[in-house]
A and B are shown apart, each in its own frame.
Chain A
Amino acid sequence: MTDSPIQTITWEGKVAVASIAGDIDLHRSAALQQGLLGLLDEQPQKVVVDLSAVPYMDSSGVASLVKLLSRTRKLGVALVLLSPSPKVRSILEITRLDSVFTITDSKQEATA
């Protein structure tokens, strides 16, 4: 049994903020991907993925975010990663995806 990595989804107008919690690895990345892609059915204008409570992420978690990025681009939906921890930021840098994603530490900026 896998606990859901998505703790809460809050809406600020047409902006959906998905708050993720816990390590994202092979054990939990499929649930993360399913939850994030399902969020797009609600037709947000922007999705903010709050990673501030994710201490660790491996390439399977990164793959889930890349899948979300691909889908949001096709739909014309903006995507922002909010407050990744140092370890999550590190894997994004190692895979050179830190320049592909929009990343910010400001929730105000993320949801604007």
Chain B
Amino acid sequence: MGAETPRTNNDPAGDDGTFMSESAPMNRTLRMEIQSDPAELKSVRVEVESFARALGMTEHAAGKVVLAMDEALTNIIRHAYDGAADRPIEIDLAVRDACLHVTLRDYGRQAPRATIHSRDLSDVRPGGLGVHIMTKCMDSVDYQPAPDGGTTLIMTKSLRDSDNERTNGPCHD
């Protein structure tokens, strides 16, 4: 296997340095910097699931965040970096306004936003399911090309109603 544990900064303190107890976890953040190596995916899943569960998400809801994150990372590795295993990916998770914000930053090839969409699921064939899964699992999914190259992907999920599928609720920017 040989996957290294991602560098993380699991910060239980708020921006003001105040420790937030489990009953008030709303300022928690998680930051990881990984390489675009598929062998890193499992470690990321473990970290993200642990973080989401610590926020009070159910196992089911946390699983959806993990799946959306995994699909997003897979797309970055495959499409932005053409399978190169040594390129940087920055992962940030933060809670704001009772919503989990997941931000993924890559420095690879940008895809035109119009080309990023779900496909017809009645066409049973391998591939092309990642965007559909991400939009089903999260409340919002937004790709923003970065001016200096690469892409910032921002996904959100409400912590109030996180067991539901896409709610278009309070997290929909």
- A binding-site residues for B, Cβ under 8 Å: 1-3, 23, 25-27, 56, 58-60, 62-64, 66-67, 69-70, 87, 90-91, 94-97, 100
Contacts and interface: CB of A to CB of B under 8 A. Distances in A.
Given A1-B1, A1-B2, A62 B129 contact: yes
A94 B74 contact: no
Given A58-B67, A91-B133, A94-B136, A25 B125 contact: no
A59 B133 contact: yes
Contacts, number: 65
A96 B125 contact: no
A91 B64 CA distance: 9
A94 B125 contact: no
B124 interface: yes
Interface string B53-80: 0000000000100010011001001100
Contact of A23 (B42, B127, B129, B132): B42
Nearest to A23: B42
A26 B45 CA distance: 13
